Amino acid sequence: MSLLDVTDAAQIYTTRRGLFGRPVKVRAVDGISFSVQPGRTLGVVGESGCGKSTTGRMALGLERPSEGSVTFEGAAMPVPRSAEWRDMRAKMQLVFQDPLGAMDRRLTIAQQIEEPLVIHRIGNAAERKERVAALLVDVGLRPDHAARHPHELSGGQRQRAVLARALATNPKLLVCDEPVSALDVSIQAQVVNMLTDLQVARGIAMVFISHDLKVVRQVSHEVAVMYLGRIVEQGDPEALFADPAHPYTRALVSAIPVPGPRRIPRIVLTGDPPNPADRPSGCAFHTRCPVAIARCKAEVPALRHFDDGRKIACHLADAQTKVAE
């Protein structure tokens, strides 16, 4: 059984254009489905405004989808801020990009890590102290870090502390929203290795949201590529990045600057991603797609299953898989 099931979920926000403008409905996430198994990682990639963070918030039950459903361990998400919802928080945790913003600057590292245990009434004072010490070791911090304040740690150490706090209640699901994007390359590798080790040791399921395709490929068991609120391609990370099928995925992969010779010729897309409040007709990508045909403008492509286990939302996907063979 899946730990997390998201089915046809959509999130609709209402915004105004200007002070007196008419309210406009924006479909930030527009009907996405995926499931995450215990101990597995789903990577979610896409550019700013594609709905990847909203997806993470829906997965955690921080926002109720406007349409569709999210279930955790087979049961529907409780209403936000209810007592059941609060109890759920112990089972699922969120890790953000900016660890300093996620911490209370006046509390010591040990107090911050202990806080979720106090909130969820886990253990007595002595047990909690022991647990905090064990968590510090798990994330690779030294015992003397416990008494420090967030500003006395480096960026990498702070992200480790945030992770220790997230792990305090033994969650089954971790949603990581750009967890290593603010870190330097050498520190990033340390934290990525630690995340994968902790996942193996504890069997945690993860939703890993990032714009960095290299890191997502490294940590994920499955990858979903999002464009303007929809999943356009989903599948095994090695296959998907080695042979991207959707024209958007191909452009993304070809745009990654890599040291050494380039495998795929670079595709430079023209223009900016469209505004979600002003979604193009048909396939939302047709305005920037180098291979779009007339049908793409008129008809929304469905996310279809292919033989290699991949799902692709493109009218031209059949022709392309043939070309690939």
Partner 1 sequence: MAEPLVRIRGLDVKFNGLPALRGIDLDIGKGEAVGLVGESGCGKSVTWLAALGLLPKKAAVSGSVTLDGAELLGAAPAVLDDVRGGRVAMIFQDPATALNPVQTVGRQVCEALTLHRGMDDAAARAETRRLFEMVGIPNPAQRIDVYPHEMSGGQNQRVMIAMALAGQPELLVADEPTTALDATIQAQILDLLRRLQAETGMALVLISHDLGVVADMCSRVCVMYAGRIVEQAPSEELFARPAHPYTQGLLGALPDMVGPRRRLSAIPGGVPEPWNLPPGCAFAPRCERADGACAVMPPFQALGRDHDAACVHLNEAVAA
Binding-site ranges for partner 1 (CB under 8 A): 47-48, 154-157, 184-190, 192-193, 196, 211, 213-215, 217-218, 238, 241-242, 251-260, 263, 266, 268-273, 288
Q: How far is the CB of 205 from partner 1 (least distance, A)?
A: 19
Q: Considering the complex, state which of residue 218 and residue 320 has its C-beta at the smaller distance from partner 1.
A: 218
In the complex, least distance from residue 74 CB atom to partner 1, rounded to whole angstroms? 31
Closest to partner 1 by CB, 129 vs 221, is 221
Q: From the CB of 199, what's the least distance to partner 1, in Å?
A: 13
Q: Which is nearer to partner 1, 125 or 242 (CB)?
A: 242
By C-beta, is 59 or 253 nearer to partner 1? 253
Give whichever of 237 and 282 is closer to partner 1, judged by the CB atom.
237
* Cβ proximity to partner 1, 238 vs 318, nearer residue: 238
Full strand arrangement of the beta sheet holding 4-16: 23-36, 4-16, 67-72, 75-76
Nearest-approach distance from CB 238 to partner 1, in angstroms: 7
Closest separation between CB of residue 12 and partner 1, Å? 23
Min separation Cβ 218 and partner 1, Å:
4
CB of 194 to partner 1, least distance (A): 9
Nearer to partner 1, 74 or 257 (CB): 257
Residues 6+ apart with CB under 8 A from 232: 225, 226, 246, 248, 249, 285, 303, 312, 313, 314
The residue (of 65 and 156) whose beta carbon lies closer to partner 1 is 156
Minimum CB–partner distance for residue 91 and partner 1 (Å): 28
Per-residue H/E/C for the chain: CCCEEEEEEEEEEEEECCCCCCEEEEEEEEEEEEEECCCCEEEEECCCCCCHHHHHHHHCCCCCCCEEEEEECCEECCCCCCHHHHHHCCCEEEECCCCCCCCCCCCCHHHHHHHHHHHCCCCCHHHHHHHHHHHHHHCCCCHHHHHCCHHHCCHHHHHHHHHHHHHCCCCCEEEEECCCCCCCHHHHHHHHHHHHHHHHHHCCEEEEEECCHHHHHHHCCEEEEEECCEEEEEECHHHHHHCCCCHHHHHHHHHCCCCCCCCCCCCCCCCCCCCHHHCCCCCCCCCCCCCCCHHHHHCCCCCEECCCCCEECCCCHHHHHHHHC
**Residues across the chain:** 325
In whole angstroms, the minimum distance from the beta carbon of 21 to partner 1 comes to 15
Q: Cβ closer to partner 1: 268 or 323?
A: 268
Q: Which residues of 61-90 are buried (b: 16+ CB within 10 A; e: fewer)?
A: bbbbbeebebebeeeebbeeeeeeeeebbb
